[in-house]
């Protein structure tokens, strides 16, 4: 049994030298000489128990024997034995004298002796070797199973990571496709809106022209009044200019800001006026007036958005031939400003001085683009004026406007629109 054990360990050492650490096999072998009981396929008894405890205490790749075995073979085999002393083992009542055999010890051929004397030794040794071999096999299988489990776990994790990556890529592609679809739908919607707008403009152009304005064109002198139903209404002069059914006017409010009136006169004589003015406190104020033109007069009334009533009455002021002595009646230097109103916002104003000489109006100012803008026009003997503006937009493109107005005393006012349909008006005072 001892010779078999040493040869097994020597063969395993030779085998393990050519294998990786995780593939090597190492046995612990314990050998005891004692009685055994055979019960079916099992071996029982103290002989088996001591052999099992000895092999459990052995280092991997080593051999331990009990004192009873050592006493039988010490002079029969050329081995190096190392006494470990009396060792106590679990479930073994008495300490067991234990030896270990040095690694790589050579074994000489044993002397022949009767088989009956070796039977108990062989039986116990075979049991111990079988137990050690089974334990080593279990350990190897356990390591292999653990390695396979780890490999399967790593493979599952790798597969899950790849699946997550594929899903993320698919999600990104889905989002990109949805964004492209949304943009395409927006573009189609915009194209459809443009098409409808062009179609509406085409249909509007194809409609018959409305009945022509049949009233008198020119200047209408009059006034606007707040609280006109009271015994002491608050009134101020306003000159309306009527051209092709359009009404325009401007004046300087009590807050020293330019106010304006815009409206239309239908062929039936119905009048609509939009007032954009200022409260005494300098806050924007608006009103819508409805009225009528009849017999050379315009009458309209309505309410400010602040709640007060407002009404106006104007009469046509026919042009009269200017007397030669009045040709230069409006000459002089006029200080004032132009104001532009965009989308109902508070107007933006800038100073524009004017010079009137023999009925000709000239003026200039420096625009925001640092380019010179100009105003030129004429004033008739009856005070009506026409003014043309040639200026520059913020982006550097040229723009012009035509204004109509009137000179009354030392005050000049005019209103009109820029070519882009933005409202523009001006008020000036003659300098002493």
Q: Domain spans of the chain? A: 2-147, 218-316, 324-430
Has residue 344 got a pLDDT over 90?
no
Give residue 341's pLDDT. Answer: 78
In which residue are the tokens 């230069």 written? 328
Give residue 319's pLDDT. Answer: 60
Q: Tell me the mean pLDDT in the region 303-313.
A: 91
Domain boundaries 218-316, CATH class: mainly beta
Give residue 191's pLDDT. Answer: 93
State how far the Cα of 232 lies from the Cα of 332, in Å rounded to an integer. Answer: 36
Are both 218-316 and 324-430 of the same fold?
yes
Q: Of 413 and 282, which is predicted with more confidence?
A: 413
**Burial (CB count within 10 angstroms: exposed 0-12, middle 13-18, buried 19+), residue 4:** middle
Record: fold of 324-430? Lipocalin (2.40.128)
Q: Tell me the mean pLDDT in the region 235-256.
A: 84
Closest CA to 306 of 288, 286, 292, 289: 286
Helix (H, G, I), strand (E, B) or coil at 256: coil
Has residue 240 got a pLDDT over 80?
yes
- Confidence bin at 405 (pLDDT 50/70/90): very high
Q: Are 352 and 372 in contact (CB under 8 A)?
A: no
State how far the Cα of 317 lies from the Cα of 156, in Å rounded to an integer. Answer: 97
Domain 2-147 has CATH 3.30.2130.10: no
DSSP 329-389: TT-EEEEEEEEEE-TTSPPEEEE--EEEETTEEEEEEE-TTS-EEEEEEEE-TTSEEEEEE
> What percentage of the chain carries pLDDT values higher than 90?
34
- Confidence bin at 167 (pLDDT 50/70/90): very high
pLDDT tens per residue across span 103-157: 665 444 344 444 444 444 444 444 444 444 555 557 777 888 999 999 999 999 9
> What percentage of the chain carries pLDDT values higher than 70?
86
Q: Tell me the mean pLDDT in the region 248-272.
A: 86
Closest CA to 276 of 429, 420, 383, 415: 415
In this structure, the number of other CB atoms found within 10 A of the CB of residue 96 comes to: 21
Helix (H, G, I), strand (E, B) or coil at 320: coil
State how far the Cα of 425 lies from the Cα of 403, in Å rounded to an integer. Answer: 7
């Amino acid at each position: 049994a001892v010779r078999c054990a040493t040869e097994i360990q020597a063969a395993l050492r030779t085998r393990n030298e050519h294998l990786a650490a995780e593939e090597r096999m190492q046995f612990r072998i314990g050998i005891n000489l004692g009685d055994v009981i055979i019960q079916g396929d099992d071996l029982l008894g103290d002989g088996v128990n001591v052999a099992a405890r000895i092999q459990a205490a052995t280092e991997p790749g080593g051999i331990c024997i009990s004192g009873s075995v050592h006493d039988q073979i010490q002079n029969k085999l050329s081995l190096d034995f190392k006494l470990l002393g009396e060792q106590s083992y679990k479930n073994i009542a008495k300490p067991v004298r234990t030896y270990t055999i040095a690694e790589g010890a050579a074994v000489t051929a044993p002397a022949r002796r009767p088989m009956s004397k070796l039977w108990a030794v062989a039986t116990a040794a075979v049991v111990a070797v079988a137990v050690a071999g089974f334990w080593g096999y279990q350990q190897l299988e356990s390591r292999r199973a653990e390695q396979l489990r780890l490999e399967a776990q790593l493979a599952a994790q790798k597969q899950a990571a790849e699946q997550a990556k594929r899903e993320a890529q698919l999600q990104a592609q889905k989002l990109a496709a949805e964004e492209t679809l949304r943009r395409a739908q927006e573009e189609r919607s915009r194209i459809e809106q443009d098409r409808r707008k062009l179609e509406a403009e085409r249909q509007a152009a194809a409609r018959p022209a409305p009945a022509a304005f049949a009233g008198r064109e020119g200047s209408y002198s009059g006034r606007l009044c707040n609280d006109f139903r009271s015994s002491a209404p608050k009134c101020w002069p306003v000159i309306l200019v009527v051209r092709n059914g359009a009404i325009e006017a401007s004046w300087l409010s009590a807050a020293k800001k330019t106010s304006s009136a815009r409206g239309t006169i239908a062929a039936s004589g119905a009048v609509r006026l939009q007032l954009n003015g200022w409260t005494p406190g300098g806050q924007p104020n608006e009103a819508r007036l409805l009225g009528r033109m009849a017999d050379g007069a315009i009458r309209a009334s309505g309410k400010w958005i602040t709640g007060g009533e407002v009404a106006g009455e104007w009469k046509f002021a026919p042009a009269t031939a200017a007397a030669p002595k009045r040709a230069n009646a409006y000459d002089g230097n006029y200080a004032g400003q132009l104001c532009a109103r965009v989308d109902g916002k508070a107007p933006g104003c800038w100073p524009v001085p004017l010079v009137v000489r023999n009925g000709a109006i000239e003026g200039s100012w420096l625009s925001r683009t640092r380019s010179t803008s100009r105003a030129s026009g004429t004033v008739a003997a009856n005070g009506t004026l026409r003014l043309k503006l040639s200026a520059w937009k913020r982006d550097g493109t040229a723009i012009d406007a035509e204004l109509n107005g009137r000179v009354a005393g030392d005050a000049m006012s005019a209103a009109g629109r820029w070519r882009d349909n933005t409202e523009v008006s001006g008020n000036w005072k003659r300098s002493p």
